[in-house]
Chains A and B, each alone.
Chain A
Amino acid sequence: MAHFDFNTPVTEEQVRKLRVNDTVTLNGTLFGIRDATQIHMFDRGRKTRFDLRGHALIHTAPNVKWVGETKAAPAGYEPICVGTTTSDRMERFTRPLMEQYGARILIGKGGLREGSAKAFAELGGVYLAVVGGAAALETTWVEQIEDVDLDDLNPESLWKFRVKGFGPLLVSMDSHGGSLYTEVNAQARAKRAAALASLGVKTGK
């Protein structure tokens, strides 16, 4: 279990070094994406002007405040509360994000599935778990909203955050086929029969 401090963007080599149960803290640029962002990008043919190659993307739709464009808020938005959401809904977008845009790191809660695990292994990517529902804390790691694209989808715009000390985040899916979610799920399912027996359920099918 090692800790890594990364400045984004990262290389494939950096990502390949990560193993489940390692921790990572990010500095630099962090992009925010959500359901609608990706539905529009991959199902409706819209493109972003952002270069996502080697970058980290968090599943998020933040609370922001429109303050008008200033030096401190170059996109006109101040971050109010930035957290994460359940990644599982966006499972099918992992591969196109990596293949078409070169994304390397996905961040969220609850984990992704087998398809994403395969994409991470083949293309060199990783999933980092941030604690869901801990957004007040996570917001203190966000310095600024630098830019925003596809903002007609607000709050599900494509956000470009500048972050400092964003973490520690737990490597919960790596590029070597490791997934803590698969592991924990298999262990939990193995305990199902005992849990049902403790409830006096006779036919635990």
Chain B
Amino acid sequence: MKVDLKQVEEAAKELYIRALKVLPPDIKEGFKRLDATETHATGKAILGTMIRNIAVAEENNNLLCQDTGIPIYNVWIGRNVEVDGAALKEAIRSGCARSTREYSFRSSIVHPTTRVNEQTSCGRNVPVIHFDFTDRADTLEIEMIPKGSGSENNTWLKMAVPAEGVDAIKTFVVDCVLDAGGKTCPPTIVGVGVGGSADLCVRLAKVAATRPLGSRCEDAEGVKLEETLSRAVNQLGVGPQGLGGDSTAFAVHVELAATHITMNPVAVNMQCHSARRARATVTPQGVTYGF
């Protein structure tokens, strides 16, 4: 398959606005699950408002949240896909900028020191674009994540040491949830990166935080951590918006990588309740959109 870059640019544009407006079905299901079990009156009322907001956004064709986030594009290139990589990157960047201009939503991106906003949702190295490869033939997949800053500002890395063991990982996650309180817009998906190098560890935490609800870590030890940590953080009572309740996190997700004999890194990155993402699948038949 030879990739049509015009099609990619359109998809990159379309994905941003779609992600901002409609929540994926797994997140909607997650809300139903939390709402059914929440026992705290304030927490229950807040969940009700969040659920109503999802419907209002769809009815009014509006954005779910005012934060248009920091745009992230994850790209998977399948087998037998022929594409000019540099041009692919440029097409995504251009689609991202066009989305902000053509749909008139807020550009949340500024230069880090001058704070100048180019009003394009783009800047140096932004949108963040990650490329990877899959074995799916004749398929190019693009996932778009507008990552909200309230949750992104609550990101931590600890370079624990082997002598501290898995206890250091568990303690760190619990303490991060306590420190975040209501600042991350709970209920959240708590993304945990375990192992790797420092940069890979943080990246894994982001992958974990943005994975669909119901998905599991591919590593059996990671699954164990997901199950026990999901229960533990929801015992804390932080609740929706940090105002008390049972629904602190939809889930804790874990991603693992091997690490060095001297290292025991753990990172936490959170996703807010407006856990937005959208996906385009490009094949020789055209583009299909989903989550």
Contacts and interface: CB of A to CB of B under 8 A. Distances in A.
Interface of A: 21, 36, 60-66, 80-86, 88-89, 109-111, 129, 131-137, 139-140, 154-155, 170, 172, 180-181, 183-185, 187-189, 191-192, 194-196, 198-204
Interface in B213-266: 228-229, 231-233, 235-239, 241-244
A195 B148 contact: no
9 contacts: A62-B106, A63-B68, A80-B104, A82-B66, A89-B153, A132-B241, A185-B181, A187-B237, A200-B170
Given A86-B150, A170-B42, A187-B237, A131 B231 contact: no
A136 B183 contact: no
Given A63-B68, A180-B243, A185-B181, A81 B63 contact: yes
Nearest to A23: B45
A81 B68 CA distance: 10
A201 B171 contact: yes
Interface string B48-67: 01101100110010111111
Contacts of A60: 66
A102 B62 CA distance: 34
Contact of A63 (B66, B167, B273): B66
Of the candidates B232, B233, B273, the one having the most CB atoms from chain A within 10 angstroms of its own CB is B232
Given A135-B66, A136-B56, A110 B170 contact: no
Nearest 3 CB-CB pairings of A with B: A83-B66, A136-B57, A134-B53
A83 B67 CA distance: 8
B178 interface: yes
Contact of A84 (B66, B237, B274): B66
A133 B53 contact: yes
Contact of B178 (A65, A84, A188, A203): A188
A131 B67 contact: no
Chain B's interface: helix, strand, loop or mixed, by majority? loop
A180 B43 CA distance: 12
B272 A196 contact: no
A150 B106 CA distance: 17
A144 to B, nearest CB: 16
A180 B244 CA distance: 8
B241 A109 contact: yes
Contacts of B181: 110-111, 181, 184-185, 188
Interface string B19-63: 000000000000000000000001000100110110011001011
B106 A155 contact: yes
Interface residues of B, number: 56
Contacts of B228: 198-200
Contact of A110 (B52, B241, B244): B241
A131 B63 contact: no
Interface string B269-287: 0001110000000000000
Contacts of A139: 60, 62
A81 B232 contact: no
Given A85-B150, A194-B235, 17 more contacts: A61-B108, A66-B104, A81-B105, A85-B66, A86-B185, A135-B53, A136-B62, A137-B49, A155-B108, A172-B243, A184-B237, A191-B236, A192-B174, A192-B175, A198-B231, A201-B170, A202-B167
Interface string B100-117: 000011111000000101
A133 B272 CA distance: 8
Contacts of A134: 49-50, 52-53, 65
Contacts of A188: 178, 181, 236-238
Contact of B64 (A88, A110, A133): A133
Contacts of B108: 61, 155
A64 B167 CA distance: 47
A21 B243 CA distance: 10
B182 interface: yes
Given A109-B150, A184-B243, A202-B167, A136 B60 contact: yes
A198 B67 contact: no
Contacts of A129: 241, 243
B236 A192 contact: yes
Contact of B185 (A61, A133, A189): A133
Nearest to A191: B236
Contacts of A131: 46, 49-50, 53, 241
A15 to B, nearest CB: 20
Contacts of B239: 184
